Structure 1
């Protein structure tokens, strides 16, 4: 984890990360907010520039294809695609990433996915977690 980020104030945040990572396909997950607070599972790493690029894409809601690729933990994912409201995914070979946003936070998950169905199942889990933390006010 980059030293820029501070410990999160989200109650049970570490437990939420553990639950997501316990899914057989999700490798790492981080929950970040605009203030620099973050919680993450072991192995999750994102640089401030990577976070800035992701926020740029999400703010515009229509990826600028020059910045339509995202890099997370030194893996570049192409063609970030909208799955449903506030949920995006991208693939790189047999890996993928899922990004969910709400008004105060972003969840980023990395995963291994040989099959598209694995990616979509993980999308649903990340979406549920994003909705839950939104209700919690994060």
Structure 2
């Protein structure tokens, strides 16, 4: 059962592929904001996975983050998440990322619990031609 207080931890080493320059979010050779966000989402998702019913997953629906400091290629970045609100299927996480020198990003991230097969079917039905 998913309850407030569930915590997650993730980490990654910044590579050139995760830089703003390579990801197309800027021109600097530093940890890209989209890469930081992906780490935050991944950490939040994995933290609640063991508590979900069989056949269920979560999808990200909202983010409100600040990227407050740059991290160079080669530096380790860690992410910590905490589930701070559960409202039915809606989950809200506090998210923070730090490199070896301190805090680099923080904010909140919202996810929804979904039934994986039903979600897939609904999504891929979009590819079907409309009946005339």
TM-score (norm 2): 0.30
| Greater relative CO, 1 or 2 (CA 8 Å, sep 6+) | 2
TM-score (norm 1): 0.29
Query: Greater share of strand residues, 1 or 2?
Result: 2
Report the structure number with the largest CA radius of gyration. Answer: 2
